[in-house]
């Protein structure tokens, strides 16, 4: 099969890139081993978190590292069986947590977020997708004034990038935004402009349908290697050999297996995220809630409630530890006493993560017709439309709308 462009990966990043490329007139085929939204894109919180500039690698975070191995159900953990394997990644993570690198990551995130916010508007318009978009708002909760004051430093930085928010400095003020919460939460910050989707899987499928309706193609195949030559790019799959003039690798947590076949060994790891989706009627949720000190959220998905988050740096092969999902649900019940926790469906997904929390968006150093778009961590949905436009500009050899230096494949 020959195509002008092949996009490897049918998650939210790959489908968004394919749609943008098709809108610009390219012959595009998406290839994925499982199909549309079969991995991380189906199980996230369904939020466009444009105000979340802060990387995972923050100054001082390494002081907490010893605790991670001792608390397998904490908000950020490393399974002991994976500690040795992830050590090189953790070293890079430590380097990225210094103040200078942190500030650079915040600035890079802010520029990508600003682009992605505007690109989402364009994406919604061209796909008639307004019915999938919800003005959710977001409420971040704190259990003490000290915790709240520390968080305000981050909000000051967000405000400098145009993020508007409201300070809530009493349980009564919090209850006006979201009734039914435990009075242990004494302070909060509400972001009214926070957007979400009715369901992230349905949104990705909607974009895929728009892509196909515009003449794009989606095929099931597992790509095992990528080979670049002066004549184009060839892909080895479990079946036929595929040929394309240009290729976009957007395979999420599996992307580094393909980049290695091009000689690029990128430090991509996996944030394993856990959640439980409860059926309709579980709780009258007015807005997305972030339990800041506990590392998880409660979000409305369809008519149900999804409780999940946290980070487990455990790779792709270890068996899921669903005790983590249970712990989050138990905490949610304490924090939202009226929450009905019966009838939930557990899930674990692989979120692709780089040590500096910035995605890889750029052209392969040794293969000018191969482009990388992966490593967005828990911000794939948020940054998908912006990433799509950057990749399309790259394919067209146009100047980028923002600096791509912070996202370069060879930055490590």
Q: Is residue 92 part of a domain?
A: no
pLDDT band, very low/low/confident/very high, at 157 (cuts 50, 70, 90): confident
Q: What total number of domains does the chain contain?
A: 1
pLDDT band, very low/low/confident/very high, at 327 (cuts 50, 70, 90): very high
Q: Is residue 316 part of a domain?
A: no
Report the predicted TM-score, pTM, of the whole model to 2 decimal places: 0.96
> CB within 8 A of 322, min separation 6: which ones?
274, 346, 348
The stretch 100-117 carries a mean pLDDT of 94
Q: Is residue 241 part of a domain?
A: yes
pLDDT at 179: 97
Q: Is residue 343 part of a domain?
A: no
pLDDT at 1: 65
| Burial (CB count within 10 angstroms: exposed 0-12, middle 13-18, buried 19+), residue 213 | exposed
Question: Is residue 249 over pLDDT 70?
Answer: yes
Q: Is residue 286 part of a domain?
A: no
- The dihedrals phi and psi of 332, each to the nearest 5 degrees, come to -60, -35
Question: Is residue 299 over pLDDT 70?
Answer: yes
Q: Is residue 259 part of a domain?
A: yes
Mean pLDDT of the chain: 93
Instruction: Check if the beta carbon of residue 376 is closer than 8 Å to that of residue 356.
Output: no
The stretch 363-389 carries a mean pLDDT of 96
What does the pLDDT look like over 185-244, one tens digit per residue? Answer: 999 999 998 999 999 999 999 999 999 999 999 999 999 999 998 889 999 998 789 999
What does the pLDDT look like over 38-94, one tens digit per residue? Answer: 999 999 999 999 988 888 888 888 887 677 666 777 788 888 889 899 999 999 999
Report the distance separating Cα 16 and Cα 20, nearest Å: 6
What does the pLDDT look like over 225-235, one tens digit per residue? Answer: 999 988 899 99
Kind plus residue range of the DSSP H or E element containing 336: none
Q: What domain range is 26 assigned to?
A: 1-59+98-133+196-268+354-412
pLDDT at 66: 72
Which residues pair with residue 371 across a beta bridge?
A: 248, 363
Question: Is residue 294 over pLDDT 80?
Answer: yes
Q: Is residue 149 part of a domain?
A: no
pLDDT band, very low/low/confident/very high, at 403 (cuts 50, 70, 90): very high
Total Cβ atoms within 10 A of residue 165: 19
Q: Is residue 86 part of a domain?
A: no
Report the distance separating Cα 264 and Cα 90, nearest Å: 19
CATH (domain of 113): 3.50.50.60
């Amino acid at each position: 099969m020959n195509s002008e462009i092949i996009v490897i990966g049918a998650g939210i990043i790959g489908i968004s890139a394919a749609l943008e490329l098709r809108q610009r007139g390219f012959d595009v085929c998406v290839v994925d081993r499982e199909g549309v939204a079969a991995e991380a894109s189906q199980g996230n919180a369904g939020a466009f978190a444009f105000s979340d500039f802060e990387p995972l690698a923050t100054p001082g975070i390494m002081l907490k590292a010893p605790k991670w191995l001792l608390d397998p159900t904490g908000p950020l953990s490393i399974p002991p069986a994976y500690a040795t394997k992830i050590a090189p990644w953790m070293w890079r993570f430590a380097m990225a947590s210094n103040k200078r690198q942190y500030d650079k990551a915040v600035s890079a995130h802010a520029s990508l977020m600003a682009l992605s916010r505007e690109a989402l508007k364009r994406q919604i318009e061209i796909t008639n997708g307004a019915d999938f978009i919800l003005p959710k708002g977001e409420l971040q909760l704190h259990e003490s004034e000290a915790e709240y004051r520390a968080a305000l430093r981050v909000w000051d930085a967000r405000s400098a990038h145009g993020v508007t928010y409201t300070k809530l400095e009493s349980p009564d003020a919090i209850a006006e935004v979201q009734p039914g919460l435990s009075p242990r939460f004494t302070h909060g910050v509400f972001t009214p402009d926070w957007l979400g989707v009715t369901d992230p899987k349905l949104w990705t499928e909607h974009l895929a349908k728009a892509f196909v309706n515009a003449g794009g193609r989606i095929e099931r195949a597992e790509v095992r290697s990528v080979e670049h030559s002066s004549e184009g790019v060839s892909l080895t799959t479990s079946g036929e050999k595929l040929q394309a003039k240009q290729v976009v690798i957007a395979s999420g947590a599996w992307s580094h297996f393909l980049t290695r076949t091009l000689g690029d060994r990128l430090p991509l790891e996996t944030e394993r995220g856990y959640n439980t989706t409860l059926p309709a009627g579980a709780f009258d949720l007015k807005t997305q809630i972030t339990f800041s000190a506990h590392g998880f959220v409660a979000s409305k998905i369809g008519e149900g409630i999804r409780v999940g988050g946290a980070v487990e740096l455990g790779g792709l092969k270890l068996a899921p530890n669903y005790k983590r999902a249970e712990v989050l649900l138990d905490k949610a019940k304490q924090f939202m006493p009226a929450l009905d926790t019966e009838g939930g469906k557990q899930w674990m997904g692989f979120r692709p993560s780089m040590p500096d929390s910035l995605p890889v968006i750029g052209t392969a150093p040794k293969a000018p017709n191969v482009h990388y778009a992966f490593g967005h961590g828990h911000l794939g949905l948020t940054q998908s439309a912006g990433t799509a436009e950057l990749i399309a500009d790259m394919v067209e050899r146009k100047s980028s709308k923002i600096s791509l230096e912070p996202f370069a494949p060879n930055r490590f």
